[in-house]
Structure 1
């Protein structure tokens, strides 16, 4: 878990812990495998540094933009009571949203960082948005509501946290977890 304030984009708190995953990865069921460990990390933060409990949590995964409209960001948000935003690096092809020519042309139309377009189900319900997170990245991220936040606020906060393609809290967590593995388990393939 990494905490980064929006304005300063520096890590204020770091918590790395090796865990044993007992469930296999199954697409659409990531929350059942990972939420318990994320909740434990938030509980440790609340015990150790309660003043640093985040106002919003960014999750490397989906929220409403999910097969059952209830991804990892929704699970974590509901169980923690904190506002959560799901940010996925890859398009989850679900409910009529596909990597089609139309989708590719919408991506090409994103001119600058902050530009986005809705990801609407076949029913018309907006499940999230594709966001060009920075001027430097032409490949979007897929932002969706997890809990206690609107899709527009989720997109705004995600864009505000991006120096590069991925929001800084997620990017730092990815980087530092790989560094943790390299340091503590040098023989592991990271």
Structure 2
């Protein structure tokens, strides 16, 4: 296969990203976001895709909705999907977003009263090569506030796993402490957050849509029982359990 089709695909996706980027809102838009204790927030969503080991095409697309602040399960949707778009670094959203949107649409049609007021995404938002990651794309296309939470540092725009970065992590004393992820341009693209007192390894929080960075960080911390915020942790656990149940011969 020649490189030309991939180059054409990249140009098309870059154009689409730029178009969607114009619709991105990086500020708080909901009343509950402005309350110190998030009063008015009742439902938080989490999404994730889990793949059968050795298979990068067939996956379980998972949506969960939990109560806030109790983190009790209100709704779950597990659906096997076949990804059709190729994997190209920086364009993960074009592979995964359609199936996550379908899950949200099924919820909207079947149980609209349980639609989440904010969605946590296992991935990055503004903290991205072109400042438009999976959490941004899902947010803009769904119209819902979204928060990107990544477990690993994306080394992008001048942010690296440097000695300085490691020393900043070491300086995080307790759950809720954070430091900014500042691009070479000087723009803050996200924050590294120590999500709990027990976990010294941070998560990387960035704006998806319709929420400010500071609010996203506070909300992420408030949803953490362990290192990863509960909506994402539950989506991950339940999608993996679905694969174990339905594909027992595969080592997921």
TM-score tier by shorter-chain length is over 0.9
> Cα RMSD between the aligned structures?
0.7
- How far off is 1:163 after superposition? 0.4
- How far off is 1:125 after superposition? 0.4
Secondary structure, aligned partner of 1:96: coil
Which whole-Å deviations, capped at 9, do the CAs of 1:123-172 have from their partners, x for residues lacking one? 11000000000001000000000001000000011001000000000000
Q: CA separation in 1, counterparts of 2:124 and 2:135?
A: 6
- How far off is 1:48 after superposition? 1.1
TM-score by length of 2: 0.71
* Higher RCO by CA contacts (8 Å cutoff, separation 6 or greater): 2
- Structure 1 stretches of at least 4 aligned residues deviating more than 2 Å after TM superposition: 23-27
Q: CA separation in 2, counterparts of 1:136 and 1:26?
A: 35
Corresponding position of 1:39: 101
Q: CA separation in 2, counterparts of 1:86 and 1:15?
A: 20
The answer to whether structure 1 residue 133 and structure 2 residue 195 are counterparts is yes
Aligned with residue 144 of structure 2, among 75, 82, 85: 82
Which structure: greater strand fraction?
2
Aligned with residue 237 of structure 2, among 171, 175, 179: 175
Which whole-Å deviations, capped at 9, do the CAs of 1:9-65 have from their partners, x for residues lacking one? x11100000000123333211100000000000000111111111111000000000
Q: CA separation in 2, counterparts of 1:28 and 1:89?
A: 16
Unpaired runs of 5+ in structure 2?
1-71
Secondary structure, aligned partner of 1:64: coil
Unpaired runs of 5+ in structure 1?
1-9
Corresponding position of 2:122: 60
Q: CA separation in 2, counterparts of 1:26 and 1:18?
A: 22
Q: CA separation in 1, counterparts of 2:181 and 2:249?
A: 41
Q: CA separation in 2, counterparts of 1:43 and 1:189?
A: 30
The alignment covers a number of residue pairs equal to: 181
Q: CA separation in 1, counterparts of 2:200 and 2:87?
A: 29
Which structure is larger by alpha-carbon Rg, 1 or 2? 2
Which whole-Å deviations, capped at 9, do the CAs of 1:58-106 have from their partners, x for residues lacking one? 0000000000100000000000000000000000000110000000000
Secondary structure, aligned partner of 2:82: coil
